[in-house]
Structure 1
């Protein structure tokens, strides 16, 4: 009986060690590939959607781009209050990202994203607006990125108080 007990402990210890090693293993999964029109990105649970897009734009020296996506997220939307010049935020957790669209440009040497989206819950009600933050929930988020040849910049326009895409005019 003692032998069975020790063997069980040994097996359980190995099982726990294996699970621990898998959860602490470095994430080496590829996040995007090049396509004929740009890139295709697949993000996984826990990934910060907007941070991955910003890092991608910098790493690949993207002059400007448009993107669309879908998947499962925890999202924070904002409605721009033109009086206060700030976003009024609202969070939605464990929702399906039915649609996301946006653009990549540059501002002060950094990638500048402008992203909108629509999410739905189990009740099939849709909510959306300016996407301030999104983290991949269960499942994944798939994003198609179409690269443009022109480098575009965003400029803060007054008295509007918002960043606007400048087309060089």
Structure 2
């Protein structure tokens, strides 16, 4: 097993959101690791984790955090690897806005790709797309995944028409 993607979160309570990234990576055949790394409660662990990530063979880091959401940006400041931030609407958040803005508003020079609130699945897909630029097998898995999405929409449209919903569009 050659782990390529790290999924980290500020608290185990974020796992219910971050599991979606793990699930889509597994579906696409991407090896990952997943753990808790708090920017505030375990800064030494965060420093060590981020600084050792590339040497351990990781290629992309997905970092989810709620509240002040410093984890993605702090990790991005410590590694050259791409970091994808997942703002998490947590129990102590201001309807998720604090998390979103904390991850989105990074200073120039420390980029963090940011997905929508609680959109860990999109973070997993983006990590896979980054890896697929150098992996034809994974690229084909992504093509198949998107084709399945398309087929599901087409099937839903047919079902609605068959159920009597009016539509002139074919």
When the two structures are superposed, what TM-score results if normalisation uses the length of structure 1? 0.27
**Larger RCO (CA under 8 A, 6+ residues apart):** 1
When the two structures are superposed, what TM-score results if normalisation uses the length of structure 2? 0.27
Question: Normalized per residue, which structure has more helix?
Answer: 2
Question: Normalized per residue, which structure has more strand?
Answer: 1
Q: Give the structure with higher Rg (CA).
A: 1
